[in-house]
Structure formats: structure tokens, C-alpha cells
Structure 1
């Protein structure tokens, strides 16, 4: 059990690991740990925690050689963090002294400070050298098995390598992507997103306060880029938070209504609209109860397993177990049917999920087309720069995976399909 006192970044990272691994919480759901920390310290704690989660399998393999009996989870997480940091080139003196001091202040575990000191010194003195020779960390069986069935072992191994490499920062420009890329020292991707391989605190980057851009993975930006909404287009953005697509629509001059069930998450959309000086109508409520009709474009970014975001969120495989898949798939089906009912004649529905599971993507659209004879998919909208035609799917959608664009730094796993209502 960890203290509620203000932590050092390493101590905070251990506390975060306790909640993810011990309590099944996502990092975004962890409570209290980062509350009183300054922005730079908070960012460092999150970096240390995510690095540890990415390298957890390797750390455990090395620790199994150094520790006969597993210590309590809190101490084990301190050893995991220290092992990963040392193996990635962290300062040995700082890592060892900080984590030994952290454990020594815990009344319950201070008797194990000698163990922490001895094991981490072993790692610093050479026990961690095999790090680069160990296999790429694998996804847990509950997720690896269905992904292997869908994509094959080789493809899943490539995805795992992408997860282990982590993710750069992608941003979407309000206007003038080339200019924003130059200002930030980033790379302009083929689809128009801007990629930063190195960056500090996001809010301190040039153009953030002025609202020149917002954070959005390149894959998540493609649905709106493919739709090419024009000024005055009537758009409904369902399940809109955190709002990247709402901002894209608004920047294109569309008349946007954005709906999401979470008031807290919608606050973030509101803040981003104010920062970027863009406008949209925001509705907090259940999308299944929303009744306005006649939209030219509806974008449904449905709640899903989020399995396509693991390269940015390595906590997900440890905080989830797949038990929610059935409920999510049923909810997606209901949302799809309701979204169709809100389309204007000739309108377009873009369905997307940040999932790698076909049941949340390809299968949903296949079954929708079987239920509704008046619908058809339009794969031609994905004829845009940066999109390989091989990524198009049989039912007319687009499948993106973390192992795509390997020379550019990968992308999130994503599925999308544009469905048109025949007039």
C-alpha cells in the first residue's frame, strides 16, 4: 500500500504500476498519485511507468535470475522500474539510491530495502546486459490468441515490435500543416499529420497556446481527412471526446454537433475548442437517445477495446482481460443502427474503432450491410496519399495496424468504413 504523500517521479511511477498491475486500472484512471506534482515531474513519472510496462516481460525475465522468491508487488514494481531504467541507460547511482530510499520510507516494506539495493546493483553491474538479447515482449494470451487467429503469428509479432518501440507524438494542424511542421521541427506525414520524434512538455511547444494544432494520432485523423467535409456540411460526431475529429470538422468549416456521454471528457473538448478558437455544438448525453436527423455526415468513433492503441498505452494489456468484449460489440451494433437512422438521404456514415479485433470492425460492417439493403460502403474515399490499397478490406473498409509505416514510426491500429445511404 503506497503513501498519499508527494512522490518523486520514480516513486510516483511505482505507485502507478501498483494501480495498473495490482488493481486493473488504466493509467488514465489512476487516482491521486500525480495530483500534487508539477507538470515536468508528472510527465517524467508517466514516462517511467510506460517504459516499465513496455519492458515488463524483459524485466521479469532478468529479475527471475536474481531473486529466488518473488517479493510483494509494490517492491517487485520498484525492482521492475529500476531494472528497465538501468537497462535503458539510466544513471545507476540515481536509480538505486532513489528507489532504495523510496522503499525505506515505507513502514510495511522498509525491511526489504537491502534486497532492492542488492538486486538493482546487480543489474547495474552487469546482470542487465542480456536485455537486448531477450525476445520482444509478447501480448498476454487473452489478446494474443484472437489477434493471431485474425492476422497470423508473423503479423502479431510485428505489431508487438511496434508496441515495444513506443509511439512518437502526432499532431493535426488547424491550417498550414507544412508551416506547423517546420515550426515544430516535425515530419509532415503523407496523410497530412505532423510527427514529432522528440519533444518535451506538449503544452510548452510552440503554437499550443495559440491553438495552431492539437494532439491526434495519424491513424485517428484519417477518417475526417478521407471524408473531406466542406464548409456548411451538417455533421454529427458521435462519442466525440476527446475531440480531435470534432476539431478537424470545425476547422474545415462544417456545422458540427458533438455528443458524448461523459461530462468530464466533454470538458476537454470544450477546452480544445476554446484554445483553437473553433466552434461546435456540444451535447452531453447518451448517443442512443439522441434524436435529431438529417445529417450529411455522421462519424461514429464507437467505444471499443482500444487494442489498437497499445503502443501509446502499454497499460492496457495489464489493466484489462478481454471480458468486456461481448458487451462492447453489442453496444457498437446498437450505435451503428441508431446512427443510420439519423442520416439524411445520400448522407455518409463513417464508422471507426481503435481496435485490432475484426469483430469490432470488419465484422460489424459486414453484418450491418446484411441487415440493411439500402446501405453500401464507399472504399473510394480512402484513395488518399499515404494509404496502401492493400489495406482496404473485402467489405469496403480500411484496416490500419501498428506495424504499418514501419519506416515512419508506425501508427495506431484502427478500422474505418464509410457507409452511404442510397437515395
Structure 2
């Protein structure tokens, strides 16, 4: 432990000052009391948990996280920690490349959390509106908290100060596709989409998006009241940094947060009041809310009882009703349904705008494993559909094995399955959103805008099928 944090002072019963030696734990707690330091330490630890430990961003910032890195942080500091972690994940390759040029010999093997302190500090210097001196000072203080990284505190100071001096140079040489996308994914996207579209996908993932909302009714009026803009698809895109519960309409259940792309599958399903509808893999519940708001009698199924608690709470706030069931979508049994929505578990590579952790927690083998699960769920779902009934299948993935290939395989397996082409214009989408078969392949660079926060949407694949007999 650095000697600067090893001692404290107290007073004897007689009022004389006496020195006493603090325990390492007390010394660390005293050091963490420095304004902003605990936030940076939490951010660095969460980065390590995600990239090295395979945890998700939402998991590490949830109230149930164990162990929690956010103990003692207020809402504002938690928000700042999340901003640091999110931008560090979004631009991790660019940050690491810059640091590698500033620490040419690399970091020592036994230096504790030094790498993550540097990455958190570099994320602030390069991409966040935080004073340079604060980013450097707090990164140095964070390094001094760990006996293994404390000897390198001066290195942290020098590296980040050099980064500030060469900031424009490093940002100018950054290539999002080459640097900020894992190589196995960038190679896939080049092969699938071609160089130009792969570059545009990677560039879109470098933007920090604002919030999209789905409203129960009167979207135009709510867009004006919330100071947002109404997208051609019917979602409202905000231009606000206010906490969600403080926005007009939250308490009365007028709307819910849902990416513009994620709001499309339920619209495409086109349910009518009174229809019996199954929402498979339903949590967190945005699509369930859409179906219930349309007047359908919805069964919302998910295998996670914990996630269904959040779904139930959201429905209560929205004053909407659905039957909630815990179960395996690939084995669920019930009487046939008029309509079924399958939002299948997937690699989620299309969501990296909002969840950049997916780029660093997914592995090449995950896609094949998930595709096998998706095929089982799709077969089971189609078997639960009434003759003449409609099924919408969707995944928030850019990988064809999880989208186009799933539908092609089902059509080969089941002669009762027929594709119903989707008209992108009817949904407020450009013609390029549909593929040659009439399915939607939404890429994250759709919806261009001069403001990076206002453009784009999640990457999705959506197909609509009908049961013939």
C-alpha cells in the first residue's frame, strides 16, 4: 500500500494528537472518499469483469449484481461510471492501439488493475467531456490504491498526459471496422455485407444513441410534449439527458423505452383485439406491451423468472395485462394461437450501439450454438400456430445463420409454412431495409442524421410466416 494512504491521525481522550496506523482497508476507504475516485475505480473494475470475465454491461449495472462494484455511489456517479464503461467498450480497440503506442514495451505482467485504470482514463481523455486534469489525476490515484499497480502510478500520469498531447493524431488514425470490432466479426461482416457496408456498420456502432420510446397512443402529441421527434416508423426519438423516471408520462404509463427496430416485429404481426397471442422469449417485455396495448390476449413466456419480474413490473406501470409464464420456448405446450411472436435468443450483434459489451463477450462458436436453439424454438412455435395464423420471427443479430438461414430451413422442413413478404414502405422504412425474399434486414446505419445521437437503429432480422393448414 502506498505510504500516502497508510496513516491517519486521531485524538486521545486527553486531547493530544497521536498517530495510529490504519488498516489497509481503512486506508483504502479514506482514499476512495476523494471526489470522483470511487466512480473511476468502479468503472475500471467493471471493464475487467466484462472483457475478461464475460459478464454483461446490464448485469454489472443491475441492482442484483454480485459482487456489486457500485456500492456507495449515488445515481449521478453510477451514470458516470456507466458512461465511462460504455464508451471504453465502444472504442476499446482504438484505446488499446493508442496506449500500445505510448507504452511500447507493454505493461508488466503483475501490475494489478493498471491496464483497466489506463483504459478508463483514456476513454475519458479521448471521448468524454471530462476535464483532462481530472481524468489524469483520478487515474493516478486509482493506480495508487493497489499495491501491485502503485509502483506504476507515474507511468499512468505520463501515458495519459502524452495521450492528451497526441489526442487528435490518435483519433484521426482510428479505423472503427479495423480497430473497434473484434477481427473475427469484422472478417465475417466484410464477407457477408461487403467492405462498404461493413465499414458503415462499424461506424454506426461508434455512435452513442439517444433513447427511443414506444407510446400507447397519440405519438405525435407525446413527441411534442417530450421534446423528441417522431420517426417514420412510429417511435419517438428523444433529445434529452433527463433520467427516464423524470420524463413526462412515465408515471402514468404512457410509454416505454424500446429501440425503434425492436418496436417493428409487433407492428408487423398486426394483431387484432381479442386474438390469442403468444410472445415467446418475452422479457424484458416491450413487445408484450405492444401486443397487450393492441387489445390481444397475450401469454408472455420466458425461461427467466427473474426477467419476468421486470416484465410484470413494467406491465403494471403501463396498466396493461398479460398472462405471464415461466418455461422453455422449445418445449412449451398449449392450445393453438392466432398469432405468435418469436424474439429468439441470439448473439445480439446488432445491438452494439446500445450494448457494446456484446462485441467483446461473444465468441465465434456462439453463433452455431444459438442457431441450433433458434431452430428448435421456431419449430415448436410454428407447431402452436392455428391454420391461417401468422408468426413473426426476429433476432437482433447481424448474422445470417440466425436470420435468413433459419427461415429458409423452416420453409424446407415444413410444407405448411409460407413466407408473407413485408412492405418496408408501410413501416416507414427505406426500400433497402427488405431483402430479395421480402424479409427485413435492418442495418444499424439506417436513418441517417447530422447528429450522431439521432441516427441509426439496432440491427435486426424480421420475417413473417403464415400457416397454410
TM-score after normalising by structure 2: 0.86
Measure how far apart 1:281 and its partner are: 0.3
Decide whether the 8 Å contact of 2:273 with 2:294 is kept in 1: yes
1:244-264 C-alpha deviation (Å, 9 max, x unpaired): 000001111111100000011
Q: How does 1:12-31 map to 2 (within 5 A)?
A: 12-30=42-60, 31=65
- Whole-angstrom CA distance in 2 between matches of 1:192 and 1:44: 31
- Residue pairs, 1:24-423, within 5 angstroms: 24-30=54-60, 31=65, 32-71=68-107, 72=111, 74-88=113-127, 89-124=129-164, 126-138=165-177, 139-380=181-422, 382-407=424-449, 408-423=454-469
1:381 deviation in Å?
5.5
Counterpart contact for 1:303–1:332, Cα < 8 Å:
yes
Any conservation in 2 of the 1:237–1:300 contact (CA below 8 Å)? yes
Which region of structure 1 is more displaced relative to structure 2, 413-422 or 76-85?
Answer: 76-85
Instruction: Report the CA distance between 1:103 and its aligned residue.
Output: 1.6
**Where does structure 1 lack aligned partners over 5 or more consecutive residues?**
none
1:300 and 1:196 map into 2 onto residues whose CA distance is 28
Aligned partners of 1:19, 1:240: CA distance in 2, in Å?
A: 27
Aligned pair count? Answer: 420
Alignment partner of 2:455: what SS? coil
CA contact (8 A) 2:419 2:464 kept: yes
CA distance in structure 2 between the partners assigned to 1:73 and 1:169 by the alignment: 36
Question: How far apart are the structure 2 equivalents of 1:227 and 1:120?
Answer: 52
* Deviation of 1:132 (Å): 3.0
Give the TM-score normalised by structure 1.
0.95
2: CA distance, partners of 1:316 / 1:229 = 32
Most deviating of 68-77 and 325-334: 68-77
Give the secondary-structure state (helix, strand or coil) at the position aligned to 1:259.
Answer: strand
Alpha-carbon separation, structure 1, partners of 2:112 and 2:390: 50
Residues 206-233 of structure 1, C-alpha deviations (whole Å, 9 max, x = no match)? 2222211111000010111222222112
C-alpha distance in structure 2 between counterparts of 1:326 and 1:288, whole Å: 17
**3-state SS of 2:274 partner:** coil
Aligned Cα root-mean-square deviation (Å): 1.8
Q: Does the Cα contact within 8 Å between 1:56 and 1:137 map onto a contact in 2?
A: no
Q: Which moved more, 1:99-108 or 1:163-172?
A: 99-108
